[in-house]
Chain A
Amino acid sequence: MSRAPSRLSRYARPLLGLALPLTLALGWELAVWLGWSNGRLVPPPSRVFATIVELARSGELTRHIAATLYRVGLGFVLGVVAGTLLGAIAGYWSLARRLLDPTIQALRAIPSIAWVPLFILWLGIFETSKIALIAVGVFFPVYLGVMGAILSVDRKIVEVGRIFRLSGPAMIRRILLPAVLPAYVVSLRVGLGLGWMFVVAAEFMGASEGLGYLLIDGQQLGKPAQIVAAIVIFAILGKLTDWLIEIATVPLLRWQDAFGRERGGA
């Protein structure tokens, strides 16, 4: 392999991925500019951008983003803590698994949005019920990921720990934790994705701030540019937070045989 093509592909690959959306956006901008469409229902990028700038200047944007980030963040943390704890317990002790897992699996079969009315009755319409819904969404993938990862730890590797007479805590720290880490990171990312999904649902049910509120507000007042602006910000924040998890865990997972990394992808 010579160096030139790999250097080229390093930059060309993301650029290639950008080509399609950029072309569409520029094409639409041009179409509206040339007067082929008034762009009322599908606002051109410039109008979306202007909306974002306007929201940002008034301080509204910060308020909405902060509200949404707070909900996702808190819900994510709660869901991750609960999912990790119960997943670890169910993965580690087969008695606990037989006791817990059937119930959790049954609960998982319920579409999480179905909890909304109950949560509102129990926890009120304000923050608590929203955060609970997000936490529920995050919980299941994390629980399943942790339990599955522990159950699939290679017995042969555990025997290495036994041969060196590791105590229970040392076995967990030196063998189990590193072994489950890759699957755990994946489950965190899946959980975060669901957290972003559920925050929208949560903010649809009566919020006075948040990006989901911007969506509803834009619909009710007939402001498509505001809706698209909120969607764009959702996309940016979702990608950004996912990327943060990835960045934070890269040093821990350097040892992995990563197919994608070797080929310069991702």
Chain B
Amino acid sequence: MLALERVSKTYPNGVEALARFSAAIKQGEIVAIIGGSGCGKSTLLRAIAGLDRASSGTVTLDDEAISSPHAKIGIIFQEPRLLPWLSVADNIGFGLADLPAAERRGKVARALERVGLADKADAWPRELSGGQAQRVAIARALVPQPEVLLLDEPFSALDAFTRRDLQDHLLDLWADTRPTLILVTHDVDEAVVLADRVLVMRPRPGRLFDQIEINLARPRDRNSPLFDSFKRNVLTSLDRSLDRNVPDRDATQGPGQAMWW
């Protein structure tokens, strides 16, 4: 279990990016974090990853305090961040340097197969499309089998079609080992299609505003009325988080809904 206890972060320049954020996330749960720009989502994720230290509060994974990057926690950024001097296969195997070469090769080959890029093993990162590069980044993060995988707007730079494709693909990969997924997104659709629970944040200072459980069986049908109603719930909550007036929670199309971010 991943426990966040009153995690706060004030940057040296005085910006209070995160204030007393608490949450408990079960092993294997998929949590989406959504909120306006600048409300501390990346700050939160970086604190969980151990890349930055919280100013106060604690992050614990299975009772172990996290203050620096941990073997059981992986992260995928908005950009693939592949190492341009390594082939696709070597990028995927980057976190496996401690394994014997044969074992590493086997794992990398399976991962390549799994993300559908077996034919690209020897390609350079620059030869990949944006979607393919992000697949490699996903494989690189998953191949050491983390217990927690953090994703910071991982698909936001991709076109709508590729994004959907990768969302489905991510779920598929998740089912293999069922790590905890914490996904930052500003795409309501993405949050509802992937998450068991959506955490809505509000800005200045960044904090938890609302939680919405998505009690929908998988695979989820993006066109079902139930899916739509969950989406509306999330949107309404988002509008509230930004202090917009939303008189009626059931209003089908609030004026600011699509433009909240």
Give chain A's interface secondary structure class: helix
Point out the residues of chain A lying under 8 angstroms from B126, CB to CB. 255, 257
A159 to B51, CA, bound (A): 8
Asked if A165 and B94 make an inter-chain contact with CB atoms under 8 angstroms apart, the answer reads no
Asked if B95 and A159 make an inter-chain contact with CB atoms under 8 angstroms apart, the answer reads no
Point out the residues of chain A lying under 8 angstroms from B97, CB to CB. 170, 174
| Residue of B68, B77, B94 touching A164 (CB-CB under 8 A) | B94
> Would A163 and B84 be within 8 Å (CB), given that A156-B77, A156-B79, A255-B124 are in contact?
no
Give chain B's interface secondary structure class: loop
Asked if A165 and B83 make an inter-chain contact with CB atoms under 8 angstroms apart, the answer reads no
Point out the residues of chain A lying under 8 angstroms from B69, CB to CB. 162-165
| Residue of A157, A165, A174, A179 touching B81 (CB-CB under 8 A) | A157
Point out the residues of chain B lying under 8 angstroms from A165, CB to CB. 68-71
> Which among A163, A170, A179, A255 has the greatest number of chain B C-beta atoms within 10 A?
A163
Whose C-beta in chain A lies nearest to the C-beta of B95?
A164
Asked if B81 and A156 make an inter-chain contact with CB atoms under 8 angstroms apart, the answer reads yes
Number of residues on chain A facing chain B (CB within 8 A): 18
Asked if B75 and A178 make an inter-chain contact with CB atoms under 8 angstroms apart, the answer reads no
Question: 1/0 per residue A239-266: CB within 8 Å of B?
Answer: 0000000000000001111000000000
Asked if A160 and B94 make an inter-chain contact with CB atoms under 8 angstroms apart, the answer reads yes
> Would A162 and B51 be within 8 Å (CB), given that A255-B124, A255-B126 are in contact?
yes
A257 to B49, CA, bound (A): 31
- Using a Cβ cutoff of 8 Å, how many contacts connect chains A and B? 43
Asked if A255 and B84 make an inter-chain contact with CB atoms under 8 angstroms apart, the answer reads yes
Asked if B83 and A163 make an inter-chain contact with CB atoms under 8 angstroms apart, the answer reads no
Asked if A178 and B85 make an inter-chain contact with CB atoms under 8 angstroms apart, the answer reads yes
A179 to B95, CA, bound (A): 18
Question: 1/0 per residue A135-166: CB within 8 Å of B?
Answer: 00000000000000000000011011011110
Asked if A175 CB lies within 8 Å of chain B CBs, one says yes
Point out the residues of chain A lying under 8 angstroms from B125, CB to CB. 255
A254 to B85, CA, bound (A): 8
| Residue of A156, A162, A164, A255 touching B85 (CB-CB under 8 A) | A255
Point out the residues of chain B lying under 8 angstroms from A157, CB to CB. 81, 83
Point out the residues of chain A lying under 8 angstroms from B81, CB to CB. 156-157, 159-160
Which chain B residues (31-80) contact chain A, with CB distance < 8 Å? Answer: 49, 51, 68-71, 74-75, 77, 79
Asked if B94 and A178 make an inter-chain contact with CB atoms under 8 angstroms apart, the answer reads no
Whose C-beta in chain A lies nearest to the C-beta of B70?
A165
Which chain A residues (57-104) contact chain B, with CB distance < 8 Å? Answer: none
| A-B pairs with beta carbons under 8 Å apart, 9 shown | A156-B79, A160-B94, A162-B69, A163-B75, A164-B69, A164-B94, A181-B85, A255-B124, A256-B84
Interface, chain A (partner B; CB < 8 A): 156-157, 159-160, 162-165, 170, 174-175, 178-179, 181, 254-257
Other than the known A255-B85, A255-B124, what 17 A-B pairs have Cβ atoms closer than 8 Å?
A156-B77, A156-B79, A157-B83, A160-B83, A163-B74, A163-B75, A165-B70, A165-B71, A174-B94, A174-B97, A178-B83, A254-B124, A255-B86, A255-B125, A256-B84, A257-B84, A257-B126
